[in-house]
Amino acid sequence: MFEAAGEVTRYRSFESQGPKPGADMGFEIKRIGVIGAGQMGNGIAHVAALAGYEISLNDLSTERIQLGLATINGNMTRQVNKKAISEDERVGALGRIRAAENLDALADCDFVIEAATENEQVKRKIFQQLCPVLKPEAMLATNTSSISITRLAASTDRPEKFVGVHFMNPVPVMQLVELVRGIATDDGTFELAKGFVARLGKIPTVAEDFPAFIVNRILLPMINEAIYTLYEGVGSVDAIDTAMRLGANHPMGPLQLADFIGLDTCLSIMQVLYEGLADSKYRPCPLLVKYVEAGWLGRKTQRGFYDYRGEKPVPTR
């Protein structure tokens, strides 16, 4: 969940890096279902459509789906302007994405990726409603950034066909995808997931099914510590972010990054770490809790550690 510097990379097909021997070679992923048309979901739909997959994009309302489609179009237009993709590629990719206004519309999907809010009960409910409409051979994945893959898989009727596929934010820019198998995930499912990630032009890294996996196990405690540094008065928002940009060569400061991720998501991940590992070093900072309770969630609500309602962001503390 770290914004990369530089241009968006061109998407390429990596069929030669597809499933290895041992995968179910009789099963081919052609249509991808994406549940959640927000920041992560529309990014996944974006890169998968450019890679040649047919996409069914689902969310709670038609308005959310249309907003997701508009975001995809805008982001692809920027790629065209940067000459990262051609206009023909943009038009072709958009033509491969259809709106799926209910879960029944995902019945013909070969692989469904859940990218809903980072809340375990919400995700489990989605899977319980989704499984009865899927064909038996369909695979399932979650884009969770912290929640147990094994537990989520257990809420489905196909834990052996369930895998964690955690994209980084923003999806069209970031190269890494964390692949996480649950205790029941079979080899064929895992190899097909690796082939899918490779075809997107992404680089997979394999993480074990522990709270927050690799990236957020390291990144979020750093952000939480930055919030404690603010909470205890060691430095202001501007001082902390400037120190980490110039002193540690980070592309953005930790509080700016927290606003970009979403303070509610940061809190959810820290709660998973704190509850899952029972170590006080993962206790969410009370100031983070206070901001979330106030509805100050960062960029998406226009206020967080910065106020984004003016011409330029202004620190709120």
Determine which one of 56, 169, 216, 268 is catalytic: 216
Contact 305, 298 (CB under 8 A): yes
Determine which one of 46, 58, 75, 166 is catalytic: 166
45: closest CA among 77, 101, 7, 93?
Answer: 93
The Cβ-side half-sphere exposure at 311, using a 13 Å CA radius, reads 0
**28 assigned to active site:** no
What is the Cα–Cα distance from 257 to 240, expressed in whole angstroms?
12
Determine which one of 54, 114, 118, 178 is catalytic: 178
76: closest CA among 102, 100, 55, 107?
Answer: 55
3-state secondary structure of 16: helix
Beta strands in the chain (DSSP E): 31-35, 54-58, 97-100, 111-114, 139-142, 162-167, 176-181, 203-207, 306-307, 314-315
Residue in the structure block whose two tokens are 């750093």: 222
Reading the block at residue 30, the tokens are 């052609």
**7 assigned to active site:** no
Determine which one of 145, 148, 224, 268 is catalytic: 145
**143 assigned to active site:** no
**216 assigned to active site:** yes
Reading the block at residue 153, the tokens are 């898989």
**Catalytic residue ranges:** 145, 166, 178, 216
